[in-house]
Chain A
Amino acid sequence: MTTLTTLTTTTLEISPDPGSWVTVCEEARLTPGRGVAALLPDGRQVAVFRDRSGRTYAIDNRDPFTGAQVLSRGLLGSAEGRPFVASPLLKQRFDLETGRCLDDDEVTVTVFPVRVTSHV
């Protein structure tokens, strides 16, 4: 039986700058609890994540502590109900909603708006 949902594709988009949206990938590409990296037209890299409950997040892919473009390959977690990603290199954690580093008050990464759009 064919239903409407199987015909629907859900796409993830992020907004690098106010008002503009860039398509990243189909939502189903994201494993819950992990991330992917996307390349922006201007060369910037964004790390996009999906958590267990299906919420999505986007932050700068660059790990400010090492300079490497790796945050998308970190592990997701939650502390006190707030989602974070732990850098795969030196394990500092970044709040996915605010970009604040949980292990160093001085450091923040950029957070990008994300939306999910469905097309039939």
Chain B
Amino acid sequence: MTTPTIVLVGHGMVGQRFLESLADRGVTERARIVVLCEEPRPAYDRVQLTSYFSGKTPDDLSMVEAGFMEKHGIELYVGDAAESVDREARTVTARSGRVFAYDALVLATGSYPFVPPVPGKDARGCFVYRTIEDLLAIEEYAKTATTGAVVGGGLLGLEAAGALKGLGLDTHVVEFAPRLMPVQVDEGGGAALLRTIERMGLTVHTGTGTQEVVTADGSVTGMKLSDGSELATDMVVFSAGVRPRDQLARDCGLTVGERGGIAVDEQCRTSDPAVFAIGECALASDGRVYGLVAPGYEMAQTVAATLAEEAGEGDGFTGADLSTKLKLLGVDVASFGDAHGTAEGCLDVVYSDSRSGVYKKLVVSGDGVLLGGVLVGDAEQYGLLRPLTGTVPPVSPEQLVLPAGAGAPVALGPSALPDDAVICSCHNVTKHAIGACSSLAEVKKCTKAGTGCGSCVKVIEKLLPAPADKGLCGCFSYTRSELYEIARALRVTSFAALLDSHGREEARGGEGCEVCKPTVGSILASLNNGYILDGEQASLQDTNDHFLANMQRNGSYSVVPRIPGGEITPDKLIVIGEVARDFGLYTKITGGQRIDLFGARVDQLPSIWTRLVDAGFESGHAYGKALRTIKSCVGQTWCRYGVQDSVKMAIQLELRYRGLRAPHKLKSAVSGCARECAEAQSKDFGIIATAGGWNLYVGGNGGATPRHADLLAQDLSDAELVRLIDRFLMFYIRTADRLERTSTWLERLEGGLDHLKDVVVHDSLGLCDELEALMAAHVADYQDEWAQTLDDPERLRRFVSFVNAPEAPDPSVRFVPERDQIKPDLTILTLGRTNSTLEGASSR
């Protein structure tokens, strides 16, 4: 018996889903699978295409898990398209000349953007918006452009317009229909949408067609519109709909629809039973071509089931939901079900507030069944309403559209949804299936729900069991940020007071624990700026903070003096060398552009620091959840590429934020140009010089889960930069959880980067004055902890190995030589006794 061959033409979103379904069903083990992929890269997430402009790389967008093809023995030909099909011989010929014989052929060729046949449409500066290559080309061209126009005001057109705007272009949208998103929203919704879009700074021309693209020397210079006006523009992006790519099918004589699309039956079989068509290229048995990914996924599964010869062959594909939500910066638009109210006898329930740009319409049947709706300006309820479509909602439709506080008593909870309600329409996942999981990560892994357009994530989160207890620890039922607010509002200055007034009932009057004590200690330190080791605060700090040094594995300490920006004079270098030599310390250059001295006994710390402070050094806070280092590159002063003085800026910033206590450590770097030698994009806040000033990136992380920082603002002056960092840091300190780096905080922050921008750049919460004032207080009150400690004999008393023998060194801290320096002698530790004693009493 020979192995059958399945050939897949087109490796897009649906094609990849088809391959996964084959693998899930074990078909990949029984059959040879060949894939022809026209694009220069394997399948990627086209739905999230626009997120490329907010920092996703083509790799991030990939839909193929590493090793997937190899694991399942799939032959993938990237960059090779199918050119012709010989149905008689059952072969496919590729552009490269390769010929593949098939037993089953699956066409998943997707669609192509329709470009209206206007003169000038092929000029330099004309683009479509479909592939990563399109976006790369748009991005490149936009660098030299100032104005851009998008032809088409539909879902994708607005997405493209948002992208052009984001690239800094003066952006126009030209829509032939009398309103934006004509397919999805009705007139009222269109009006609300128009206001919102215009408020974002885009210019909209509705009821206007494009007559001609005006060119000079082969490049776009403008557009002639049907109303006789002319629009000056440097580039044009066509987004006037898509057409199924059915040419291959036409050429080999398969039946195609009158208006395009490869005709298929419910099993997605074309007019030739050995050939299937799925996704956007298919004309489904209900007479529609679906331009959404969810129906394509269903088709992929249908065909995989058929090829796996599964009993019953499933239900087949009979049609799908056309609900959509716009993924555009700052605009909430959604439509679902029978949005235009075409069913007989149906009623509209409309809420409209033209000031705020909110418009909501629900369509209900005479007997109260929810048929569909349109939400503009506030699509919060989309995730809930969509699954309720087809049912009689548990509350009246009026209550569903009225805004909270306007007599709407209910926030309709996901608990009201029936078990078989489809929560994730991209992946067709029901409430029941989600109920079987216990975390969002698990839901994504097991059901894929939430991994498509992402619009269902909010509802999924509500369906999951709330983590039993969000409290910080066994002592507090509040989170760190809640405790911060409590301490700030009530001016709490003592841990004991906070525990006794706001701790869990059973923990009041107790000691607290190793989790809440340092956390509250840090909150009090960032609010009060006092010396952190006096009075009660002393008992809260982790050991490292308590001794202002980092404990090492044998109980000795490391000493890290601050070296702002990594700049150091030869004299200071010599002092560090001398101190290390005189105290016999191991020295190492750290990853943070400074020098670590290891192997100090606790009782040696004050003498070491006396020498360092005398030479002008300060604490480097290597021990604290505080600002660590601000690395720099050498920058403009020396480097031939530098465009700003990165060293000076790094020093200025390090001196400003030194000593700042935070939920976790803070790291930063400043690079003198885009070559980024200081690796600023891996930092909590990173700064890269531009010809016009500084770009500020936030939320970067190295460490265990690296994350590239996101661009927060561009071309800032020195003063603007400092002010924005002040706000950013204080907002983080105020709202982050314990041990949450800025990267994880930003990922968790509702609304993400956009929300952060709103708060710290646009001051949407009116918080900025207060944030700046808090930072100003920190800067004004900063004092070097080590100098403060050395000044006070009382504070120095803790630096002894033994309270009853202050002069005695700890005999368990010993070292052995290695590479001309020292290392801890661990053998004494394993022996368990530093002195052999007669008693031999076991310590167990």
Contact = CB atoms under 8 A, between A and B. Distances in A.
B543 A75 contact: yes
A73 B801 CA distance: 10
B79 interface: no
Nearest to A52: B511
A114 interface: no
Given A78-B511, A89-B551, A109-B843, A36 B539 contact: no
B621 to A, nearest CB: 18
A9 interface: no
For the complex of A and B, 4 pairs with smallest distance between CB atoms? A67-B829, A43-B835, A33-B539, A77-B513
B539 A34 contact: yes
B832 A67 contact: yes
A68 B554 contact: yes
A22 B804 CA distance: 10
B496 interface: yes
B450 interface: no
Contacts of B813: 69
A93 to B, nearest CB: 7
12 contacts: A22-B804, A33-B536, A43-B811, A67-B830, A68-B555, A69-B834, A73-B547, A75-B514, A75-B540, A76-B539, A77-B514, A108-B844
Q: Which of under 10, 10 to 19, 20 to 34, or 35 or more describes the interface residues of B?
A: 35 or more
Contacts of B829: 66-68
B843 to A, nearest CB: 5
A43 B833 contact: yes
Contacts of A88: 542-544, 551
Interface string A9-43: 00000000100001111000101111011110011
Interface of A: 17, 22-25, 29, 31-34, 36-39, 42-45, 48, 51-53, 60, 62, 64, 66-70, 73-81, 83, 86, 88-89, 91, 93, 107-110
Given A73-B543, A75-B517, A33 B511 contact: yes
A39 B542 CA distance: 23
Secondary structure type dominating chain B contacts: loop
A31 B535 CA distance: 8
Contact of B507 (A42, A78, A93, A107): A78
Q: Which of B546, B826, B830 is the most central at the interface, judged by chain A CB atoms within 10 Å of its CB? A: B546
Contact of A42 (B798, B812, B837, B844): B837
Q: Which of A23, A42, A52, A64 is the most central at the interface, judged by chain B CB atoms within 10 Å of its CB? A: A52
Interface of B: 474, 496, 506-507, 509-514, 517-518, 536, 538-540, 542-544, 546-547, 551, 553-555, 602, 797-798, 801-805, 808, 810-813, 826, 828-835, 837-839, 841-844
A74 B511 CA distance: 13
B551 A42 contact: no
Given A60-B843, A69-B810, A43 B542 contact: no
Contact of A76 (B511, B536, B839): B511
B551 A17 contact: no
Contacts of A32: 536, 539
B523 to A, nearest CB: 16
Nearest to B602: A73
A33 B517 contact: yes
B511 to A, nearest CB: 4
Q: Which of B511, B544, B832, B837 is the most central at the interface, judged by chain A CB atoms within 10 Å of its CB? A: B511
Contact of A77 (B511, B543, B602, B835): B511
Nearest to B507: A78
Contacts of A81: 506, 510
B475 to A, nearest CB: 8
B543 A74 contact: yes
Nearest to A108: B844
A106 to B, nearest CB: 10
Contacts of A43: 811, 833-835, 837
Contact of A52 (B496, B546, B828): B496
Nearest to B535: A31
Q: Which of B510, B811, B841 is the most central at the interface, judged by chain A CB atoms within 10 Å of its CB? A: B510
A93 B514 contact: yes
Contact of B804 (A38, A42, A66, A68): A38
